[in-house]
Structure 1
C-alpha cells in the first residue's frame, strides 16, 4: 500500500516538475501559474517526505521491538 502511494506521489511530483519547467521557460519564473505549480509541488514533496519519515520510524520501531523480544 505504502509503496503504491509513494510511487504515485513520485509520478505526480515528476509531472508537476515538468509542467513547471516548461511553463517557466515560456512565461518566466514569476508568472503566477508557475508559482502556483511550485507551491503544489512543494506540498507533494512534503507529503512524500512525511511518508518516508514515518515508514523509516516504523521500521526502526519494529526492529527495536523484535530485538527486545530476543
Structure 2
C-alpha cells in the first residue's frame, strides 16, 4: 500500500480504516450486522459505533424498535 492508502484497508461502504481503532470499530459493526441490525442512515433507524480516544470504550447506540 502507498502512504495514501489506509493502513488497515477499507470497511463496508469503502470506509477507510486508518488506525487500529478504526479497524476495531469496524469489527464491532460487523458483529452488529451479523446479528441482523442495520447501520443508522438518513432514511432508516439503526446502530452507530463511535470510537473514542485510544484506551477508551467505544460508544454504541441503536435507534429503532426493541426485539
- For normalisation by structure 1, the TM-score amounts to 0.29
Higher percent of residues as strand: 2
Higher Cα radius of gyration: 1
- For normalisation by structure 2, the TM-score amounts to 0.30
